Amino acid sequence: MLNSNEVRLLLSELTLEGSLIQKVTEHDWHSWTFSMYSMADRAWLWYFEIGTQDQHFCRTDVMRRKSLKAQRFTQYLRANIVGSRILAVEQPAGERAFTLTLSHAGEERKLHFRFFSGPGANCIVTDKDDMILELQLRRPGRLEEKGQFLPTLEDRDWNEERFPVRAWQGESFNSWLDHYYREGRRQADRNDTLSQLEAQRDRELSLIRSQIRDERTRLDKSAGYEVFKETGDLLSSNAWAIDSGKSSVRLTSFSGEEVVVELDPKLSVSGNINAYYQKYKRQERIHESAAEELKRLEEKLEQRTQHYARLLEQGDEAELSALHKELRPDKAPQKPTVPGAGLRFTSSGFEILVGRNAKENDTILRRLARSNDTWLHVRDFAGGYVVIRAIKGKSIPLDVLLDAANLAIHYSKAKSQGKADLYYTQVKFLRRIKDGKTGLVTPTQEKNLFVTMDESRLKRLLLVKEEQT
């Protein structure tokens, strides 16, 4: 924070009388840059920061980032102060404040800068008689509001040695102060960014480790899938001796051991044989998918661990812009967020959209889904539509289809059953029902899928969703 001697030194280094205020750029609620012009210095920039812990002003060579939307006070400055010429500069003795007397279009105004601590800090525009026209911060308790007269600051008894100018180096106190605050802010920003990056690393690696545990569980559960094929082969070779309608049969295995094979009494002998072969194929696909996904996740964990280690080890050498970019990675252009479009999940790089009611279902189909996307819905139960967004040149893996199916059951009335029949087809094969309810469609060329809910799979999907939000 500036003291009165520093304010006096800063002003003494600037050629202000006769200078023009050509432009006002707002950076945030508390800071602006005035684009100035004088015959002596030509174009130059004057930075102000008021009402913060580091409030100050100085000449600068750097234009800070512009705010997205200008506040009321900035709009007033642009309409009434831009184009003004500075007639005089006054600093009451011993005060951390100064006043610019301005002339614009034959009208005289005053611009008061007060770098006081606490609620005393303000920037105030008055007419020549000190009636307040507009101000940065309205403070009725201090009688600082439009229409009030601003009390004049009187000279104070002050001792120059009591508040000395801090030690500085360089061609001017203005340039030193500008560098001092910008460098301090840059270092604080760096430290904050590194802390955020470490937290992001911990969240991301923890999530990948959780996914690895889930895939190992899937791999273990699906191990030994060959037994279903062996059982199918055993039933096939003994089909002649098996009666239909039984719930089990005692047979001699190929290794000579006596085994009991469970059967579905509702199925024929050939139906039971096919059921075991289907279980074998399904478990084989799940096992292969889990092994492939586990390998991918382990490689990803190693790659991301090394990536964060390299980035964080650079410390002060890392470019701040690179760290910011890591926190806000560039993404491929996406459709803008559509209100009421349900939930979004990701699975192995595929985006999954989930509607939770008729309105969200309709919004997804009308505004987000494309013809080659895959649509899923549970049979015989009310529930949300699930859409897997297509990726050009890639077919949908079984694992992604199972993720989508689990979400379809989870967001339907079949959730309590823990399993359901579903059908799926491409969006282009859906037909809207004429005069039907909102979002109601009839699928064509659909395929059937029976799925038992997998709690570990759902937990992983919902955990990823929580991380994304």
What is the residue-level pLDDT of the chain in tens, covering all 469 positions? 899 999 999 999 999 999 999 999 999 999 999 999 999 889 999 999 999 989 999 999 999 989 988 999 999 999 999 999 999 999 999 899 999 999 998 899 999 999 998 889 999 999 999 999 999 988 888 888 999 999 988 888 776 677 899 999 999 999 999 999 998 888 877 888 888 888 888 988 998 898 899 889 988 988 889 999 999 999 999 999 898 898 999 999 898 999 999 999 999 999 999 999 999 998 888 888 888 889 989 999 999 999 888 888 765 545 666 776 777 553 433 443 566 578 999 888 889 999 999 899 999 998 899 999 999 999 989 999 999 999 888 889 888 999 999 999 999 999 999 999 999 999 999 988 877 788 788 899 999 999 999 888 888 887 655 444 4
- Verdict on whether the full-model pTM lies above 0.85: no
Please check whether residues 158 and 20 belong to one and the same domain: yes
**378 and 233 fall within a common domain:** no
Q: What integer pLDDT is reported at residue 335 of this predicted model?
A: 41
pLDDT of the residue at 332: 38
Contact call for residues 355 and 361 (beta carbons, < 8 A)? yes
**Residue 452 lies inside a defined structural domain of this protein:** yes
Q: What is the DSSP code (8-state) at residue 142?
A: G
Res 340: pLDDT: 59
Residues 217 and 295 in one domain: yes
> Are residue 28 and residue 154 in the same domain, yes or no?
yes
Quote the domain boundaries for residue 377.
343-468
In a domain, 335, yes or no: no
Alpha-carbon distance values, 209 to 17, 96, 287, 305, 397 (Å): 66, 56, 19, 11, 22
Amino acid identity, position 32: W
In this structure, the answer to whether residues 390 and 297 fall within a common structural domain is: no
Q: Is residue 333 part of a domain?
A: no
Nearest Cα to Cα of residue 400 among 380, 424, 384, 419 = 424
Claim to verify: residue 349 and residue 284 sit in the same structural domain = no
Which residues contact residue 236 at a Cβ distance below 8 angstroms, ignoring those fewer than 6 apart?
273
209 and 147 part of one domain: no
Residues 238 and 206 in one domain: yes
Residue 144 forms part of a structural domain: yes
pLDDT value of residue 321: 66
Chain centroid, CA 423 distance in Å: 34
Residue 337 lies in a domain: no
Task: Determine the pLDDT at residue 468.
Answer: 47
385 and 458: one domain?
Answer: yes
What is the phi-psi region of residue 83: left when phi exceeds 0, alpha when psi lies from -120 to 50, beta otherwise? left
Q: Are 198 and 152 contained in the same domain?
A: no
Domain boundary (133, 166, 199) is at: 166
Residues with Cβ within 8 Å of 378's Cβ and at least 6 positions away in sequence, in order, are: 408, 409, 412, 413, 414, 420, 421, 422
Task: Give the pLDDT score at 77.
Answer: 96
Structure tokens at 434: 């004429």
